[in-house]
């Protein structure tokens, strides 16, 4: 098990290095000249641009630049150019073109907001999705089942951003049923304000994501309830709720874990729509902001963090498999 | 052997077995009585008539073999005894009495207390019947704790005791194995341990050896017989293998198209079968002592549709003997389950006027030519009919797992 995790982490690291090369290629071969970002528009002479390129090391060969860029992830680096000089400590993801700050510090401050959205949202959609899926599976063919399946398809057909936007406009702005949304640090501003600000985003993620979990868990549960071992559990004279929870659900949860791992990783990497609509200063919004300003260091850093989240989520999912199903051997 | 109820009929079949001192309850009736059981499943294509007018009974400690091909209703009728059909998707009528209690229409909660405790069941494939995610011991103690208010430690001790009892070596350590760490035979032993942990009065074994290696099959059957003596439980063994029936069963019921077509003492049915379908089953049993080039004789045609069963006798489209029945009776009229030619212990559902003569003159020479020379009535039955064969050759010849 331990050896397996180590091997998976090494493999994951290789994936992240591959991603970093692609990200770096955007810098180097992309249409945007990084030096332009440092060059004040009004007084940007070709001479000045060349100086900047030299200072930033952009005139160096690509492998050397890449090595310099990657060295920041290992031991930090010192970035000096055109009047600014920043000590970029480990893990250095570069300096923002726009804000002239250490990208890691800039993003790290936004992690709690994004994680709050992700964790609270995941709890909501897992709860709604699994409960309605199991409920529907146990009443397969009934009106309740059909209602759940068609409602889930209906919600699924509405784009998430539309649903979230309408909810924000009506429930927060017009009707004020929900308090103003946003991320409030629970330590500074109290847990109630934190929960109030997060409530609607959680509910919207919960409703929107839960549809596929409802259908997945319904399907898996219908299969599980038809398994021979569930019939055995019945034949033993176990109570229905134990049959459903301990015997059927345990098997039905496996495919759910797979999609959950990926969904959760995406949420951790930052949800642009959620953060934009509800005004939450998280990683998604930072990424969006960076894209509009072609702030390449921040873009590359968010990509790297997203890649890391997905790689880690996959490892966690595989470990979870082996916890759920003893036949899965991690070797 | 007394038949307590007038002329044999569907209803009369229930009284076929011997009323002895081994009675369940005070009612004086056998432990399990099934009367006129009908099971149907409404589907999009129509009503599936899985079981029709089935009656049988089992005494405590005795064994009934139910034989038939897939779709004959043998498993469906047994699942009905366990109350394992989804009430919403099943139409059932008739009567099933377990230890004097009518279980048809019993609430799920009361049925739950009978399942596993009074009537337990083992299934064809022990690999899929055991939950792959839980330890074998945990699954057994779970069954015990479902009916006994004991601590986990006590239930675990009980699980070890049962595993030991069914011949699992080092039960104390194997109790913590998962099903996939057991061999096929050991898994079925574990299933048996799980079924018997609550000391049920009736054990239903649904093709318990079909999914196992031939070498293990005999061991499992031996184990069942051994445990039957210890626990004094009744056994219903569902099979398509007449060899299993010959070794295990006191009574045998042959089912076809959801109905009993022949029912009686095992030795009677095997020696004097009176129904062409039973002849077909006997003819299709491979005989290791026979000429290796001899071909098995299959029953022609396919099992009947339960959605639109054939008119008259369900077997008539496949029956090679309909010509011997006067008129068009086989096609038009469902034969009653009536007394056979060899006494009260034998019921058959067939229009043939003289089945024994046809069997002895036409069928027997074809399926077992060497038996014809022997005095059929004296030699053959002693071997197959006793039900409890003490020293079956498999016992010594095969390596034991235990």
pLDDT at position B10: 40
Q: Other CB atoms closer than 10 Å to residue A156's CB: what's the count?
A: 16
Q: Are B266 and B92 in contact (CB under 8 A)?
A: no
Return d(Cα B40, Cα B106) in angstroms, integer. Answer: 18
A245: which chain B residues are within 8 Å (Cβ-Cβ)?
A: none
Return d(Cα A285, Cα B336) in angstroms, integer. Answer: 81
Contacts of A120 (CB under 8 A, 6+ apart): A198, A201, A202, A205
pTM: 0.80
The answer on pLDDT for A310 being more than 80 is yes
**Residue A124, min C-alpha distance to chain B (Å):** 27
* pLDDT one-digit tens code per residue, A179-231: 888 888 888 888 888 998 999 999 999 999 999 999 999 999 999 999 999 99
Phi, psi of B224 (to 5 degrees): -60, -40
Sheet harboring B119-122: ordered strands across?
B119-122, B202-206, B234-239, B63-67, B251-256, B259-265, B343-348, B338-340
**Closest Cα in chain B to A321:** B133
Q: Are B242 and B282 in contact (CB under 8 A)?
A: yes
The answer on pLDDT for B390 being more than 60 is no
A327: which chain B residues are within 8 Å (Cβ-Cβ)?
A: 132, 178, 180
The answer on pLDDT for B386 being more than 70 is no
* pLDDT one-digit tens code per residue, B30-81: 999 999 999 999 999 999 999 999 999 999 999 999 999 888 999 999 999 9
Q: How far is CA B118 from the centre of its chain?
A: 17
Among residues B204, B192, B60, which one has the least CA distance to residue B121?
B204
Q: Other CB atoms closer than 10 Å to residue B247's CB: what's the count?
A: 24
* ipTM value > 0.85: no
Strand A84-88 to A77-81 pairing: antiparallel
* pLDDT one-digit tens code per residue, B231-287: 899 999 999 888 889 989 999 999 999 999 999 999 889 888 999 999 988 888 777
Residue A29 or residue B62, greater confidence: B62
* Residue ranges with strand state E in B59-147: 63-67, 91-98, 101-102, 119-122
**Chain A interface mutation, best of B118, B129, B195, highest count of A Cβ atoms under 10 Å:** B129
Contacts of B393 (CB under 8 A, 6+ apart): none
**Closest Cα in chain B to A232:** B129
CB atoms A237 and B143 under 8 Å:
yes
A321: which chain B residues are within 8 Å (Cβ-Cβ)?
A: none
User: What domains can you pick out in chain A, each with its CATH number?
Assistant: 2-104 (no CATH), 111-281 (1.10.3720.10)
Mean pLDDT value across chain B: 83
Q: Is B279 helix (H, G, I), strand (E, B) or coil?
A: helix
CB atoms A228 and B123 under 8 Å:
yes
Return d(Cα B63, Cα B314) in angstroms, integer. Answer: 27
Q: Does A226 touch chain B (CB under 8 A)?
A: no
Q: Are A331 and A290 in contact (CB under 8 A)?
A: no
* pLDDT one-digit tens code per residue, B269-284: 988 899 999 998 888 8
């Amino acid at each position: 098990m331990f050896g397996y995790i180590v091997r998976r982490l090494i493999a994951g690291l290789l994936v992240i290095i591959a991603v970093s090369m692609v990200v770096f290629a955007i810098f180097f071969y992309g249409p945007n000249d990084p030096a332009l970002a440092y060059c004040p528009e009004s007084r940007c002479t070709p001479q000045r641009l060349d100086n900047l390129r030299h200072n930033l090391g952009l005139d160096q060969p690509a492998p050397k630049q890449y090595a310099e860029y990657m060295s920041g992830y290992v031991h930090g680096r010192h970035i000096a150019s055109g009047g600014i000089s920043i000590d970029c400590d480990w893990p250095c993801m570069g300096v923002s073109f726009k804000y002239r700050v250490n990208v890691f510090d800039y993003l790290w401050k936004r992690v709690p907001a994004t994680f709050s959205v992700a964790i609270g949202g995941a709890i909501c959609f897992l709860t709604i999705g699994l409960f309605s899926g199991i409920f529907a599976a146990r009443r397969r063919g009934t009106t309740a089942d059909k209602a759940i399946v068609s409602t889930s398809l209906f919600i699924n057909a509405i784009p998430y951003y539309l649903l979230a936007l309408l909810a924000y406009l009506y429930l927060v702005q017009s009707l004020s049923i929900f308090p103003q949304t946003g991320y409030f640090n629970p330590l500074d501003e109290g847990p109630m304000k934190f929960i109030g600000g997060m409530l609607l985003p959680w509910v919207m993620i919960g409703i929107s994501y839960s549809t596929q979990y409802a259908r997945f868990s319904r399907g898996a549960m219908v299969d599980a309830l038809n398994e021979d071992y569930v019939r055995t559990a019945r034949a033993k004279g176990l109570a229905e709720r134990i049959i459903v929870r301990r015997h059927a659900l345990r098997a039905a949860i496996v495919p759910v874990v797979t999609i959950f791992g990926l969904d959760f990783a995406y949420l951790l990497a930052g949800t642009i729509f959620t953060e934009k609509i509800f005004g939450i200063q998280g990683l998604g919004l930072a990424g969006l902001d960076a894209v509009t300003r072609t702030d390449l260091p921040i873009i590359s850093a968010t990509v790297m963090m997203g890649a890391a989240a997905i790689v880690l989520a996959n490892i966690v999912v595989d470990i979870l498999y082996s916890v759920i199903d003893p036949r899965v051997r991690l070797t | 052997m007394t038949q307590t109820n007038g002329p044999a009929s569907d209803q009369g079949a229930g009284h076929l077995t011997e009323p002895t001192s081994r009675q369940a309850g005070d009612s004086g009736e056998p432990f399990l009585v099934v009367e006129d059981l009908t099971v149907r499943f409404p589907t999009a294509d129509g009503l599936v008539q899985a079981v029709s007018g089935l009656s049988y009974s089992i005494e405590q400690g005795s064994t009934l073999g139910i034989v038939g091909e897939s779709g004959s209703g043998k498993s469906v009728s047994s699942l009905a005894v366990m109350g394992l059909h989804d009430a919403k998707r099943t139409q059932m009528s008739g009567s099933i009495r377990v230890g004097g209690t009518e279980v048809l229409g019993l609430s799920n909660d009361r049925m739950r207390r009978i399942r596993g405790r009074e009537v337990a069941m083992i299934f064809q494939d022990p690999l899929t019947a055991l939950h792959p995610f839980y330890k074998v011991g945990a699954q057994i103690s779970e069954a015990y704790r479902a009916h006994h208010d004991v601590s986990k430690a006590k239930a675990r001790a009980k699980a070890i005791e049962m595993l030991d009892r069914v011949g699992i070596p080092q039960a104390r350590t194997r109790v913590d194995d998962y099903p996939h760490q057991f061999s096929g035979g050991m898994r079925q032993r574990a299933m048996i341990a799980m079924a018997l942990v609550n000391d049920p009065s009736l054990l239903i074994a649904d093709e318990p050896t079909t999914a196992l290696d031939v070498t293990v099959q005999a061991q499992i059957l031996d184990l069942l017989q051994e445990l039957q003596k210890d626990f004094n439980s009744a056994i219903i063994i569902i099979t398509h293998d007449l060899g299993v029936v010959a070794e295990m069963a006191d009574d045998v019921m042959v089912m076809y198209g959801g109905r009993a077509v022949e029912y009686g003492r095992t030795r009677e049915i095997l020696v004097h079968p009176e129904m062409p379908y039973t002849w077909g089953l006997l003819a299709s049993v491979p005989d290791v002592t026979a000429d290796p080039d001899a071909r098995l004789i299959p029953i022609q045609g396919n099992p009947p549709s339960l959605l639109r069963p054939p008119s008259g006798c369900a077997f008539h489209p496949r029956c090679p003997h309909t010509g011997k029945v006067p008129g068009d009776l086989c096609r038009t009229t469902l034969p009653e389950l009536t007394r056979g030619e060899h006494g009260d212990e034998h019921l058959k559902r067939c229009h043939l006027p003289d089945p024994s003569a046809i069997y002895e003159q036409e069928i027997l020479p074809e399926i077992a030519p060497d038996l014809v020379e022997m005095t059929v009535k004296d030699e053959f039955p002693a071997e197959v009919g006793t039900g409890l064969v003490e020293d079956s050759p498999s016992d010594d010849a095969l390596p034991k797992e235990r």
